[in-house]
Amino acid sequence: MVVPRFWRERRSRYSLIGTRCPVCGTVYFPPRSVCPKCGRKSVGKMEEVQLSGKGKVYSYTIVHQNVIGYKYQKPYVMAIIETPEGPKLTGQIVDVEPEKVHIGMPVHAVFRRIAEDGKAGIIQYGYKFIPDEE
Protein backbone atom coordinates (compact mmCIF):
# COMPACT_ATOMS: atom_id res chain seq x y z
CA MET A 1 0.00 0.00 0.00
CA VAL A 2 1.39 3.40 -0.88
CA VAL A 3 2.15 5.77 2.02
CA PRO A 4 -0.60 8.38 1.31
CA ARG A 5 -3.38 5.78 1.13
CA PHE A 6 -2.39 4.24 4.44
CA TRP A 7 -2.01 7.72 5.95
CA ARG A 8 -5.51 8.77 4.82
CA GLU A 9 -7.06 5.70 6.44
CA ARG A 10 -5.06 5.70 9.68
CA ARG A 11 -7.81 7.08 11.96
CA SER A 12 -10.36 4.45 10.98
CA ARG A 13 -7.74 1.67 11.01
CA TYR A 14 -6.33 2.62 14.43
CA SER A 15 -9.56 3.42 16.24
CA LEU A 16 -12.31 1.70 14.21
CA ILE A 17 -13.95 4.96 13.20
CA GLY A 18 -16.78 4.54 10.73
CA THR A 19 -19.76 6.68 9.70
CA ARG A 20 -23.48 6.61 10.42
CA CYS A 21 -26.21 7.83 8.07
CA PRO A 22 -28.43 10.21 10.08
CA VAL A 23 -31.36 9.49 7.74
CA CYS A 24 -31.62 5.68 7.99
CA GLY A 25 -29.17 5.02 10.87
CA THR A 26 -27.01 2.53 8.96
CA VAL A 27 -23.38 2.37 10.19
CA TYR A 28 -20.58 1.92 7.66
CA PHE A 29 -17.03 0.69 8.08
CA PRO A 30 -14.79 1.68 6.36
CA PRO A 31 -16.37 5.14 6.55
CA ARG A 32 -18.52 6.30 3.64
CA SER A 33 -19.18 9.94 2.77
CA VAL A 34 -22.55 9.10 1.21
CA CYS A 35 -25.12 6.49 2.33
CA PRO A 36 -25.81 4.18 -0.64
CA LYS A 37 -29.39 3.68 0.59
CA CYS A 38 -30.31 7.33 1.12
CA GLY A 39 -28.17 8.89 -1.61
CA ARG A 40 -28.28 12.69 -1.83
CA LYS A 41 -30.35 13.00 1.37
CA SER A 42 -27.24 11.87 3.30
CA VAL A 43 -24.70 14.09 1.50
CA GLY A 44 -22.77 16.26 3.95
CA LYS A 45 -24.63 14.77 6.90
CA MET A 46 -22.78 11.50 7.58
CA GLU A 47 -21.68 11.34 11.23
CA GLU A 48 -18.51 9.77 12.56
CA VAL A 49 -19.03 6.80 14.87
CA GLN A 50 -16.48 4.76 16.77
CA LEU A 51 -17.16 1.02 16.78
CA SER A 52 -16.91 -0.73 20.16
CA GLY A 53 -14.42 -3.29 18.85
CA LYS A 54 -16.67 -6.11 19.99
CA GLY A 55 -18.00 -8.76 17.66
CA LYS A 56 -18.60 -12.38 16.79
CA VAL A 57 -17.06 -14.60 14.15
CA TYR A 58 -19.44 -14.63 11.17
CA SER A 59 -17.17 -16.78 9.04
CA TYR A 60 -13.47 -17.62 8.84
CA THR A 61 -10.79 -19.46 6.94
CA ILE A 62 -7.38 -20.81 7.91
CA VAL A 63 -4.61 -19.72 5.57
CA HIS A 64 -1.78 -22.20 5.00
CA GLN A 65 -0.37 -20.55 1.86
CA ASN A 66 2.93 -18.69 1.83
CA VAL A 67 1.46 -15.24 1.43
CA ILE A 68 4.26 -12.65 1.17
CA GLY A 69 4.76 -10.99 4.54
CA TYR A 70 2.69 -13.56 6.43
CA LYS A 71 4.90 -16.67 6.21
CA TYR A 72 5.99 -16.30 9.83
CA GLN A 73 2.37 -16.28 10.98
CA LYS A 74 0.94 -19.26 9.10
CA PRO A 75 -1.28 -21.01 9.61
CA TYR A 76 -3.30 -17.92 10.45
CA VAL A 77 -6.99 -17.18 10.68
CA MET A 78 -8.75 -14.62 8.48
CA ALA A 79 -12.28 -13.92 9.57
CA ILE A 80 -15.36 -11.84 8.93
CA ILE A 81 -16.45 -10.32 12.23
CA GLU A 82 -20.05 -9.26 12.75
CA THR A 83 -20.16 -6.16 14.95
CA PRO A 84 -23.09 -5.11 17.18
CA GLU A 85 -23.11 -1.76 15.34
CA GLY A 86 -23.82 -3.51 12.04
CA PRO A 87 -20.77 -3.53 9.78
CA LYS A 88 -18.95 -6.77 9.07
CA LEU A 89 -15.16 -6.38 9.34
CA THR A 90 -12.48 -8.52 7.77
CA GLY A 91 -9.47 -9.19 9.96
CA GLN A 92 -7.07 -11.70 11.41
CA ILE A 93 -7.83 -13.57 14.63
CA VAL A 94 -4.59 -13.90 16.62
CA ASP A 95 -3.33 -15.27 19.96
CA VAL A 96 -5.38 -18.42 19.33
CA GLU A 97 -4.82 -21.92 17.94
CA PRO A 98 -6.63 -21.92 14.56
CA GLU A 99 -8.52 -25.13 15.42
CA LYS A 100 -10.18 -23.39 18.37
CA VAL A 101 -11.86 -20.74 16.21
CA HIS A 102 -15.56 -21.31 15.51
CA ILE A 103 -18.49 -19.44 14.03
CA GLY A 104 -20.20 -17.34 16.71
CA MET A 105 -17.02 -17.05 18.80
CA PRO A 106 -16.99 -13.73 20.68
CA VAL A 107 -13.93 -11.63 19.88
CA HIS A 108 -12.68 -8.10 20.40
CA ALA A 109 -10.35 -5.83 18.50
CA VAL A 110 -6.69 -5.34 19.41
CA PHE A 111 -4.01 -3.07 18.00
CA ARG A 112 -1.36 -4.89 15.98
CA ARG A 113 1.09 -4.58 13.11
CA ILE A 114 -0.82 -5.45 9.94
CA ALA A 115 1.89 -5.23 7.28
CA GLU A 116 5.32 -3.84 6.64
CA ASP A 117 6.50 -2.27 3.41
CA GLY A 118 9.72 -4.29 3.24
CA LYS A 119 12.57 -3.68 5.67
CA ALA A 120 12.86 0.05 5.03
CA GLY A 121 9.24 1.04 4.37
CA ILE A 122 6.51 2.08 6.75
CA ILE A 123 4.89 -0.21 9.28
CA GLN A 124 1.11 -0.34 8.88
CA TYR A 125 -0.78 -0.65 12.16
CA GLY A 126 -4.42 -1.46 12.61
CA TYR A 127 -6.97 -3.85 14.09
CA LYS A 128 -6.94 -7.59 14.50
CA PHE A 129 -9.13 -9.66 16.80
CA ILE A 130 -8.53 -11.97 19.75
CA PRO A 131 -11.02 -14.31 21.45
CA ASP A 132 -12.85 -12.84 24.47
CA GLU A 133 -12.03 -15.98 26.42
CA GLU A 134 -11.18 -19.55 25.58
Partner 1 sequence: MVGIVTYGSYIPIYRIKTAEIARMWGDKPEHPEKGLGLFAKSVPAYDEDAATIAVEALRNALRRKNIPGDKIGAIFVGSESHPYAVKPTASLIAEVLGAYRAHAADLEFACKAGTAAMQNVYAMVKAGMIDYGVAIGTDTSQGQPGDALDYSASAGGTAYIIGKDEVIAEINHTVSFVTDTPDFWRREGQRYPSHGGRFTGEPAYFKHIMSTAKMLMEEAGTKPEDYDYVVFHQPNGKFPYRVGKRLGFKEEQIKPGLISPYIGNTYSGGTPTGLSTVLDIAKPEDRIIAVSFGSGAGSDAFDITVTDEMENFNRDAAPKVWDMINRAKYIDYATYLKFRRMIVEVD
Which residue stretch of 9-17, 25-33, 54-62, 77-85 sits at the interface with partner 1 (rule: CB under 8 A)? Answer: 9-17
User: What residues does 112 pair with on adjacent strands?
Assistant: 126
Q: Considering beta carbons, is residue 28 or 127 the nearer one to partner 1?
A: 127
Q: Which of 49, 55, 19, 54 is nearest to 34 (CA)?
A: 19
Q: Which of 8, 11, 88, 100 binds partner 1 (CB under 8 A)?
A: 11
In the range 34-73, which residues lie near partner 1 by CB under 8 A? 68, 71-73
- 99 by Cβ neighbours in 10 Å (0-12 / 13-18 / 19+) ranks as exposed
Contact between 95 and partner 1 by CB under 8 A: the answer reads yes
Least distance (Å) from partner 1 to the CB of residue 86? Answer: 22
- For 34-104, list the strands marked E by DSSP: 47-50, 54-63, 76-82, 88-93
Chosen residue from 26, 94, 98, 117 binding partner 1 by CB under 8 A: 94
